[in-house]
Amino acid sequence: MEGHVYKIVELVGSSPDSVEDAIGAAIKRAGETVRRLRWFEVVQIRGAVDKGAVADYQVVLKVGFTLDRENE
């Protein structure tokens, strides 16, 4: 039996509400075009400030997905 092989892509999700929503937005959008998403790693969290308040959250993610096989 062969082990898993993953491809990794980097995504940036954003949300005006929270870090969790930024992660969710990135994963949801990637799931529309990338099959077999398996895991994510938060690489960086940052945001924008407007008039002394948090205006937007940005999260950089590494997302892993398994590669297709010809017989699958």
26 vs 71, higher pLDDT: 26
pLDDT of residue 50: 96
pLDDT tens, position by position, 49-67 = 999 999 999 999 999 999 8
d(CA 24, CA 13): 8
pLDDT tens, position by position, 25-39 = 999 999 999 999 999
Q: Is 60 exceeded by the pLDDT of residue 72?
A: no
In this structure, what are the phi and psi dihedrals at residue 63, rounded to the nearest 5 degrees? -120, 130
